[in-house]
Amino acid sequence: MFVREAEFEDIPAMHRIRIAVLENKLPRPSIISTDDYVEYLTRRGRGWVCLEDDVIAGFAIVDLSVYNVWALFVDPGYEGRRVGRNLQTVMLGWYFGKTQNTLWLGTAPGTRAEYFYRRTGWHPAGVRENGEIRFEMTYANWKATANECS
């Protein structure tokens, strides 16, 4: 298993994973277009894919312009194999190498994602208008968490 920077050719596999997830589902798959992925991968931030046996098992995209994790999703068939953890490690390392601004994300309450973020150093910072929990990762928390893992 390894993580590499996402490429345009990865977009169909990333979107397949995005619409296959069992939690935090899109209300309509068409709500996100290929152009959205391109925008986030080129102008707004950076993305990564995690491969296992040459298959994309998950992906992450961070938006540097608004300090947000736009996506961190794992193919349901690869859950529990540290795909999300590996993607998050690379994503946070890149992000905090660029800025020390607090990073945030939203996820539905009562999900495995909520548990994952709590376990990996994210702190709840309120509830968003859509009912999602807003989690934040500060530079200091990231440094402390990164040091625990090394």
Q: How many domains, in total, are found in the chain?
A: 1
The CATH number of whichever domain residue 141 belongs to comes to 3.40.630.30
Query: What is the span of the domain harbouring residue 40?
Result: 2-149
Q: What is the pLDDT of residues 95-118, one digit of tens each?
A: 999 999 999 999 999 999 999 999
Neighbours of 21 (CB within 10 A): 16
Place 148 in a pLDDT band, splitting at 50, 70 and 90. Answer: low
Q: What is the pLDDT of residues 4-38, one digit of tens each?
A: 999 999 999 999 999 999 888 888 888 999 999 99
State the DSSP H helix or E strand holding residue 46, giving kind and residue range, or none if neither.
Answer: strand 45-52
Q: What is the pLDDT of residue 24?
A: 86
Q: What is the pLDDT of residues 66-95, one digit of tens each?
A: 999 999 999 999 998 999 999 999 999 999
How far is Cα 16 from Cα 74, in angstroms, rounded to an integer?
Answer: 10
Q: What is the pLDDT of residue 32?
A: 94
